[in-house]
Amino acid sequence: MADTNDNENLQTTNFIRCRYCGQRNQTGPGEGQPRCGRCRLPLSDAPHKKFAELKKEQYIHPADRKAMAALRAIPGIDSALKKFLAVTGESAIRVIFTASAVKVTPHQCPDLYAKLQIACTTLGVDMPELFVQQNPIANAFTGGVERPVIVLYSQLLERLTDDEVLAVVAHEVGHIHSEHVLYLTAARLIEYLAKSAVLASPLIPIVKELFTLSMRAALLAWARRAELSCDRSALLVTQDANVIGRTMMKLAGGTFASKIDYEQFLAQARDFQKTYDEKALDRFWADVINSGLSHPFPVWRVSEVLKWVESGEYKELMTGEPESAAA
Ligand SMILES: [Zn+2]
Ligand SMILES: [Zn+2]
């Protein structure tokens, strides 16, 4: 912006510490939007909050809480999950990904590793293992039980910017922070059960035996709502609602997203909120489950993120102060 043509030969090198990962970066003049050499996120002087003691209760979406309470109220669910935990074990999942996917380390895809570290230090979660797997679907998931692993599909990385990849990684780390992982793993296997065409896993008969039909229905109903909590985790890490909105737009619009107007997409999300009807939405869940979408309704999810921001709860978490004079 400023004209410095009177001292052409003067070195105007600056150092900026990355607000996300802490790396000290050297920036020269005229490079456009400078990015951190380590995590590749944009450099700026704005602060980035790391939460000292974030509790899941501080951000869990009410629909997640309600569905989880309904699930926990089913007699026998605790012992079914305990048995499930005992028979699944971690090793099988780890072996599958170690054999078939690229493990992210400080030396392999170091910028992804840095993004995982940023999400974990911001929310206060121990680092899980992270894998990248070739898959034409833009998706990510967290699996495992006690030692979770996060898997990002290659298509997601090809389609999203660095900020948006951080949002996805933070969403997955949110599942760990929210203690969703055991339930999510059970829900995913139940989904496989519903799609009989999927390759038979040795776990399928176990799932069939352990979980009654009402347990399965409650697990699936909860799993979709759990996404809403983790979109909030993603916002707590990116600290920019537009990054979440753009990520959802790309998930909704696919490769066509480059032609979609973001402002119009936001207007659509706000419009959706106005006509929102929980009962009608409930009826949709069954179709969503049948269609095999694991992260459904991007427009609805954006509208929920916007609503949370507008409620003042997000700002309260960020500043540590209530928005209004509430007790
Ligand atoms: Zn950085
Ligand atoms: Zn999720």
**Percentage of the residues of the chain whose pLDDT score is greater than 70:** 80
Task: State the pLDDT at residue 62.
Answer: 95
Q: According to the per-residue pLDDT averaged within each range, which of 38-47, 219-228, 243-252, 284-293 is highest?
A: 38-47
Secondary structure in 3-state letters for the chain: CCCCHHHCCCCCCEEEECCCCCCEEEECCCCCCCECCCCCCECCCCCCCCCCCCCHHHCCCHHHHHHHHHHHCCCCHHHHHHHHHHHHCCHHHHHHHHHHCEECCCCCCHHHHHHHHHHHHHHCCCCCEEEEECCCCCCEEEECCCCCEEEEEHHHHHHCCHHHHHHHHHHHHHHHHCCCHHHHHHHHHHHHHHCCCCCCCCCHHHHHHHCCHHHHHHHHHHHHHHHHHHHHHHHHHHCCHHHHHHHHHHHHHHHHHHHCCHHHHHHHHHHHHHCCCHHHHHHHHHHHHHHCCCCCCHHHHHHHHHHHHHHCHHHHHHHCCCCCCCC
- For residue 168, the CA-to-ligand 2 centroid distance in Å is 9
- For residue 37, the CA-to-ligand 1 centroid distance in Å is 7
Task: State the pLDDT at residue 201.
Answer: 66
Task: State the pLDDT at residue 81.
Answer: 87
Please give the average per-residue pLDDT across 234-245, as a whole number: 96
- For residue 16, the CA-to-ligand 1 centroid distance in Å is 10
Question: For residue 177, which ligand has an atom nearest its CA?
Answer: 2
pLDDT tens by residue, 23-75: 999 887 766 789 999 999 999 889 999 998 999 999 999 999 999 999 999 99
pTM of the complete model: 0.87
Is 172 a known active-site residue? Answer: yes
pLDDT higher than 60, residue 296: no
